[in-house]
Structure 1
C-alpha cells in the first residue's frame, strides 16, 4: 500500500505561540522535533498496517521542519515548496491508496486553536460552498480530486471534530484543545502513541469509506483583514468583489479553485 502524508505544525502537541513555529525562535527546535516525532509515529502505524511506501510533505512555513533522518527508511520526503496549486498536498496523485494529515489546526474564523488560520494570517475567514474552510478541508478536497481517501488526521480537538463532520469515517486524533489564547495538550509521548495507534486503525479499515465526494460546483469566498487585498484579488480572472474586504470565485473544476487560492490567498 502507498500512503501520502501532509504535515503541519500548529496542530502539533504543545504549540501555542506563533513564535514557536518560526525557525528563529529559541523553542522552535523542540517543536520541530515534536512535529518530526508525530510524523514518525504516523508512519510507523501505517507500516504496521502493511503500508510499504510513504511520501511525506513537509507543509509548514519553510517546508524544512522535519528531520528526515528520524523517519523510517521507507519514507520519501518532499521539502520546500513547488509553488504549484497543490501547495500542502504537492506530489499527491491517483497512485496513492490513502492520505493522512498530521499536526493540522482549526480554520480562520474559529476559536479551536490560538493559532487558527487558513493558509496565512491575512484573512479573517475562507468559506467553501458556505462552510468555513480549514486547510484540512481544502486539502481533503485536493485528495478527493485525485480519488484518494483521507483516512487520518491529528491536531486540535476542534479541527478533528470538523474533519469528522466532513468525513464521518475518518480516524481523528486530537492532541490539543484550544481555550481562548491558551491550549491544553497531551504529553508528547501520549500524543505520539495515540497517533501511531490511530494510523494503524485507519489503515486497517475500509479506506473507501473515507473517499470524499466532490461537489458539482464550488463557491469560494475570502474575507480579508484589509480592503486592498480584496481589491487586488478581485482582478483574478473570474473573481469578483463582494463587499469592501471580500472576494468571491465560482468554478466547476476544483483544480481551478486551487489555482485561484494559489494566486490570491
Structure 2
C-alpha cells in the first residue's frame, strides 16, 4: 500500500491568516512546524493502518514549506515547483493506491479559512460542469482518472464539509473551526496530531485502487476580479473569454483540465499589477 499525501498549508493546524503561510514571514516560519506536525501525523496513521510507503507531495505556494529535517523518516518528500500534476504529482504512478489531502481549504468565493482556488484573490470562482470547484474537487477529478481514491481530507470544518461532495467515502479530520476567512477556533498541535493520526489509520483501509474514470469531458469556467485578467488568459490556446471577467475552456481529460487550469492561473498571476490587481 503506497499513499500519496498532497500537503497544502492554509488548512494546517494554527494557520488563520496570510502571513501564516506566505514564505519568508516570521509567522510562516513558526507555522511550518505545525504544518509538518500535521503531515507527520498522517504518515504515522497510514503506517499504523498498514501502509508500506508514503510519498508527501509539497503542494503549497513555493512547494518548499515542510521541514524535511523533521519529517517522519518513514516518509519521502517531493518538494519544489513545476510538476506535471502540481498538487497531486505522483498520483499518475501505478503503485499509488490512495491519496490524502492534508491541510486543504475551501474554494474561491466560499466561506472558509483562507478560502481560494490557486490564486489568493484574483480568482473569485471556479466551476467544473457548473459545480463550484475547490482545489480538493479539482484534484479529486485528476486522482479519479488514474483510479486513485481520496482517502483522507484534513482542514477546517468547512473544508471537511466540502470534501463530502467530491469524496463522500473519505475520512475527514477537522483541525480548526472557521469563524471568518482570517479567523478560526484552533486546536493545538498535540490535539490535532492525535486526531489526524487516528483518521489516517481509519483511511488506510480505503486505499484500494479503483477503475479509472475516463471518457468524460470537463467544461471549466473561471471568474476573475478584474477584466484585464480575463483578457490576458484568453491568449492561452483553447481558452475563450465568455464575459467581461470570465473565461472558459473544455478539456477531454482531467489531466488536460488541471494542466490548462494551471496555465490559466500562471498567466493571470503574471498579469496582476501591484496596487490595482
TM bracket, shorter-chain basis = over 0.9
Q: Which residue of 2 aligns with 1:64?
A: 64
Note the alpha carbon deviations across 1:114-164, whole angstroms, 9 max, x for none: x11001122111111111111111111121121111100100111111111
Q: Which residue of 1 aligns with 2:233?
A: 233
Give, in angstroms, the shift of residue 213 of structure 1. 4.5
Q: Which residue of 2 aligns with 1:88?
A: 87
Runs of 4+ in 1 over 4 A off after TM superposition: 211-215
Q: Which residue of 2 aligns with 1:185?
A: 186
Q: Which residue of 2 aligns with 1:109?
A: 109
Q: Find out whether 1:28 has 2:28 as its counterpart.
A: yes
In structure 1, list runs of 5 or more residues that go unmatched: none
Is the alpha carbon distance of 1:3 and 1:105 closer, same or farther for their aligned partners in structure 2, counting shifts above 3 Å?
Answer: same
**Contact 2:148-2:208 at 8 Å conserved across structures:** no
Structure 1 Cα separation of the partners of residues 166 and 21 of structure 2: 27
Structure 1 Cα separation of the partners of residues 71 and 250 of structure 2: 40
Q: Which residue of 2 aligns with 1:195?
A: 196
Give, in angstroms, the shift of residue 53 of structure 1. 1.0
Give, in angstroms, the shift of residue 50 of structure 1. 1.2
TM-score scaled by structure 2?
Answer: 0.89
Give, in angstroms, the shift of residue 235 of structure 1. 2.1
Note the alpha carbon deviations across 1:148-202, whole angstroms, 9 max, x for none: 1110010011111111122211101111122224211122211111100000001
Structure 2 Cα separation of the partners of residues 215 and 157 of structure 1: 33
**Contact 1:230-1:241 at 8 Å conserved across structures:** yes
Q: Which residue of 2 aligns with 1:256?
A: 256
Is the alpha carbon distance of 1:90 and 1:185 closer, same or farther for their aligned partners in structure 2, counting shifts above 3 Å?
Answer: same
Q: Which moved more, 1:100-109 or 1:19-28?
A: 19-28
Structure 2 Cα separation of the partners of residues 228 and 243 of structure 1: 12
TM-score scaled by structure 1?
Answer: 0.93
- Partner secondary structure for residue 228 of structure 1: helix
Q: Find out whether 1:133 has 2:144 as its counterpart.
A: no
Q: Which residue of 1 aligns with 2:118?
A: 119
Structure 1 Cα separation of the partners of residues 261 and 25 of structure 2: 29
Structure 2 Cα separation of the partners of residues 38 and 99 of structure 1: 15
Structure 1 Cα separation of the partners of residues 179 and 213 of structure 2: 33
Note the alpha carbon deviations across 1:200-257, whole angstroms, 9 max, x for none: 0011347468x88567221100001111111111122222111100000112222221
Give, in angstroms, the shift of residue 85 of structure 1. 3.7
Structure 1 Cα separation of the partners of residues 173 and 214 of structure 2: 24
**Contact 2:85-2:258 at 8 Å conserved across structures:** yes
In structure 2, list runs of 5 or more residues that go unmatched: 266-277
Q: Which residue of 1 aligns with 2:39?
A: 39
